């Protein structure tokens, strides 16, 4: 059976000149981070680059793709910027200290009971008859959710798993064993 290796990357540093909530794309440093990431990943035989629709993730994918010109890429709603929040019936699965913060998550980022993130793991975390390498350019909490899933940690444990911009986290799936965390928040190329 084939193996699946997911390369999870947080977008490059965002240009926040327009304000914290605005999606103004990448800062000059963010473009440099993406370029360094692309150079590091040149030799990986990716099947595809999947990125969220946000300007910062799209621009990160644009820069990385210059180093991987043969690899198809597309925007993918499965890796959109999401924050898993518990439904009323699941609040007890999260420590009380996080409830107020979770209540303040904007409606457009809320993923109640991580329904969309669970679908992303189910979609990407599968094996087939051939080895597969996929690059996901996404957001901090999405990567945190994949890591939490891989480690079989409590539902709330994605909180505090912070990714540096353009850091590399790799998760590996084999058909006959649970997923494995190969690397977490690797910034060696930066």
pTM (two decimals)? 0.95
Comparing CA positions, the residue from 5, 60, 6, 2 lying closest to residue 31 is: 60
What's the pLDDT tens digit per position in 74-122? Answer: 999 999 999 999 999 999 999 999 999 999 999 999 999 999 999 999 9
CATH architecture assigned to 6-186: 3-Layer(aba) Sandwich (3.40)
């Amino acid at each position: 059976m084939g193996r699946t290796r997911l390369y999870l990357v947080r977008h490059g540093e965002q240009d926040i000149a327009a304000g914290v909530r605005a999606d103004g794309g990448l800062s000059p440093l963010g473009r440099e981070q993406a370029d360094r990431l692309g150079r590091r990943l040149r030799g990986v035989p990716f099947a595809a680059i999947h990125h969220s629709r946000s300007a910062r993730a799209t621009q990160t994918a644009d820069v990385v793709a210059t180093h991987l010109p043969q690899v198809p890429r597309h925007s993918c709603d499965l890796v959109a910027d999401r924050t898993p929040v518990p439904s009323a019936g699941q609040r007890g699965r999260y420590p009380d200290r996080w409830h107020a913060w979770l209540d303040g998550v904007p409606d457009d980022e809320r993923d109640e009971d991580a329904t969309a993130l669970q679908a992303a793991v189910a979609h990407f975390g599968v094996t087939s008859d051939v080895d597969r390498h996929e690059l996901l350019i996404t957001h901090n909490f999405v990567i945190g959710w994949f890591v939490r899933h891989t480690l079989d940690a409590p539902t709330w444990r994605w909180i505090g798993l912070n990714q540096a911009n353009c850091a590399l986290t790799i998760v590996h799936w084999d058909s006959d064993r649970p997923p494995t965390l190969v690397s977490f928040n690797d910034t060696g190329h930066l």
